[in-house]
Chain A
Amino acid sequence: MSGAGAPVAAPLVTDSAELARIALRVRDHVLTAGASPVGAHVGGALSAADILTALFFGVMRLRPDQPDWEGRDRFVLSKGHVSSALYGCLAERGYLPVEELATYARPGSRLAGHPLPGVPGVEFGTGALGHGLALGVGLALAAQRDGLPNRTFVLLGDGELQEGSVWESAMAAGHLGLERLTAIVDRNGLQISGRTEERLALEPVADRWAAFGWETVRVDGHDLVGLLDALGPTGGGRPRAVIATTVKGKGVAFLEDRKKSHYVTLGPDLHQRARRQLLARRATAS
């Protein structure tokens, strides 16, 4: 991808075992945020952890030592409420000191419950749902008009697809043929009030994106190798929608696929229990 003489992006990680180790640390960082006095959106952060790890370590061309590097690929966390997973990823990637993660949501911290602009590696302050895809369309359109190879990735929650503005942006991206734009839907099937299909149904979700002119790819959102493939090079004049099937609370047995995992405040005992379950899962998986 890098042109002759162009500044080189940081090397990518393609080894699945190494990616899995990183994703585990990202999940551990999410639990740290969940253990803050005000808690965190743990469930969706855990469902997104593998997607974020695949993007930041295995796919995106970045220079963590130069966050504003013009040649970088762009990432927009449209589901801004899972900032804890993004911070964990940014810290592991070298954008933030790992020790800073302990300040999550505490007085004076820049690590807010929804990402603040200005934090290294954060392209946009997000959190109000239904905004990120339009921002991604703007970034991708600028690159398209300038003939630049930069890719743009936007991570959306599945419940977020209920916002009408998402579909305005989807329509625009399809119409404009933004082939370097990739939207990833963290399809964990749950929103605060319950199952998405019971609250306001989203299926057939892939067909909906296809109808707006997008190439669609389905992937197991916890299969890191599958994610690298699904997030790989795009083309053909269409933006790509990756529907990543995930489990809310993934990695912590007592949170998995539980509605209550949406927002959790982990007291010291619960935090330790969650960490034990996370590490045990990893032991059986590897």
Chain B
Amino acid sequence: MTGVSAADWAVRYGGTTRDIYRRTLAELAAADRRIFCLDSDMGGLEDGFQAALPDQYVDLGIAEANMMGVAAGLAAAGKVPFVNTMAGFASARALEQVKLDIAYHRLPVRIVVTHAGLSAGHYGPTHQSCEDVAIMRTIPNMTVVVPADTFETERAIRAAVDWPGPIYVRLGRGPTPLVHEAERDFRIGRAVPLRTGDDVAIVATGPLPVTMALAAHRELAERGVGAAVLDLHTIKPLDVEALLAVAVGRSGVVTVEDHSAIGGTGAAVAEALAEHAPARVLRVGVPDRFCPDVGPHEYLLERSGVTVERVVEAALRLLS
């Protein structure tokens, strides 16, 4: 490193959330012996974290279910384990261990996953994960955070260290744009209002969807439509207050996510609004299917109908 702290990097660097996560974790762990880095052959952690802090690193091999149980045992003994795997493996292959060993005991295991949504791109559906938010948010005691950029990733990881109970932090694979150009308050469970607008609301989760929501805001403004934009980085616990603040008094809500339209942000928003302030909710998310072909992340989102155009269209439909 070049004397630049992880926090500085988060502000300046529009690279991958995985990079900033790893830098932040190494920095935090160097100052906190409770922090453990559990690896499942993710690649790169051996040159970074293990080389710097071998006593706080454990390679458990390509065996995710065991890694989750080991993390629970370490946490029960007072450690703060950060578990490293891909979204699809944490939420499917190792799910029973996540549910019973970690969440059932409300142990402070930090499950940090990469390759979420369609970010695995050309790897195909074996490495993509469009169901994990739906799965994780139904598990009692679990917190689910999807940072929108490197800044939010750095803050989320920092906040995760002493967050009570288990937490699932969902990251992508490739570089994504910086959403936040300056420092701002970040708290797990507190959605971030990014733009104001009186006609409709756009609620977005994750790097590319939040970027799309901001672009849709600009396009709608050009057509004279005011769209409030909410960056919903925490799906659980849901910031109902912030949601009501953007939804109430407007024509409806458009949700955008890099996840199945079933069970993710769109569902969480619809559930909350149905209960507190019934409103129309149009969900822009990945359709209920496995991607039939491959390509870059952006291409797959477009193929799935998760685009700026769809968000704009949906917003206009709410107004018609």
Contact = CB atoms under 8 A, between A and B. Distances in A.
B65 A141 contact: no
B76 interface: yes
B73 interface: yes
Contacts of A143: 77
Contacts, number: 85
Given A125-B104, A131-B101, A137 B70 contact: yes
A115 to B, nearest CB: 12
A172 B76 CA distance: 18
Contacts of A168: 61, 63, 65-66
B66 A172 contact: yes
A87 to B, nearest CB: 19
B58 interface: yes
A128 B96 CA distance: 9
A179 to B, nearest CB: 16
B161 to A, nearest CB: 17
A20 B263 CA distance: 55
A121 B101 CA distance: 17
How would you classify the secondary structure of chain B's contact residues: helix, strand, loop or mixed?
helix
Interface string B53-72: 00100101101011111111
A138 B38 CA distance: 11
B40 to A, nearest CB: 11
Interface in B39-97: 55, 58, 60-61, 63, 65-79, 96-97
B105 interface: yes
B100 interface: yes
A138 B63 contact: no
B70 A134 contact: yes
Given A124-B105, A131-B100, A142 B79 contact: yes
B76 A139 contact: yes
A137 B79 contact: no
B101 A124 contact: yes
Interface residues of B, number: 26
B77 A137 contact: no
Contacts of B73: 134-142
A137 B69 contact: yes
B97 to A, nearest CB: 7
Interface residues of A, number: 25
Given A125-B105, A131-B100, A131-B101, A138 B61 contact: no
Nearest to B100: A128
A254 B76 CA distance: 41
Interface in A77-129: 117, 123-125, 128
Nearest to B74: A138
Contact of A134 (B55, B69, B75, B78): B69
A171 B76 CA distance: 21
A67 B82 CA distance: 27
B68 A134 contact: yes
Listed residue (B55, B63, B69, B101) with the most chain A CB atoms within 10 angstroms of its CB = B69
Interface in A155-177: 165, 168-169, 171-172, 175-176
Nearest to A135: B73
B69 A169 contact: yes
B77 A135 contact: no
Contact of A145 (B55, B60, B65, B71): B55
A172 B101 contact: no
B65 A139 contact: no
Contact of A139 (B55, B67, B77, B96): B77
Nearest to B56: A145
28 contacts: A117-B105, A125-B104, A125-B105, A128-B100, A131-B100, A134-B67, A134-B68, A134-B69, A134-B72, A134-B73, A136-B73, A137-B69, A137-B73, A138-B73, A138-B75, A138-B76, A140-B73, A141-B70, A165-B65, A165-B97, A168-B65, A169-B70, A171-B61, A172-B60, A172-B63, A172-B66, A172-B70, A176-B58
Q: Which 7 A-B pairs have the closest CB atoms?
A: A138-B73, A134-B69, A142-B77, A168-B66, A168-B63, A138-B70, A138-B74
